[in-house]
Amino acid sequence: MNIITLSRWAFILGLILSIIAGLGGRIPALTTILLFLGLIVGFLNISEKESTPFLVAVTALIVTGLAGLNTINYIDWLIPILNNLVVFSAAAGLVVAIKQIVVMARKAD
C-alpha cells in the first residue's frame, strides 16, 4: 500500500468513524483514533496548494462545532457527529498550519 492510498483511507475512515460513533456506536479510544487519523491526513493528504482552502474549511467547522450547534435541541443526533469531526479535522488542521508556518519561514530567508 502506498502513502497516497494510506492517506485516502485514513480520511475515509476518520469520516466513517465520526459518523458511526456520533450515531451511537461504541468505539473504544475514539478520540485517540480520530486524532491519529487526523495527523495522518494532515501530514500526507493535504498539499501546499490545498492548504489555504483546507484551513478555512477546518476553521469554519471548528467554529460551527464550538459556537452554535450545541444550543439547538432538535438535532441531537448531529451534535456528537460534529464533535467527532471537529476532533478529526482539528488534528489535521494543526499539522497543515504548522507545515504552512514552516513554508512561510523558509520563504522569508
Q: What pTM did the predictor assign? A: 0.84
b/e sequence 50-77, b meaning 16+ C-beta within 10 Å: ebeebbeebeebbeebeeeeeeeeeeee
Residue 15 has pLDDT above 90, yes or no: yes
Bigger pLDDT: 75 vs 13: 13
Mean pLDDT (the chain) is 86
Q: Where are the domains of the chain?
A: 3-108
Least confident of 33-42, 47-56, 62-71, 94-103: 62-71
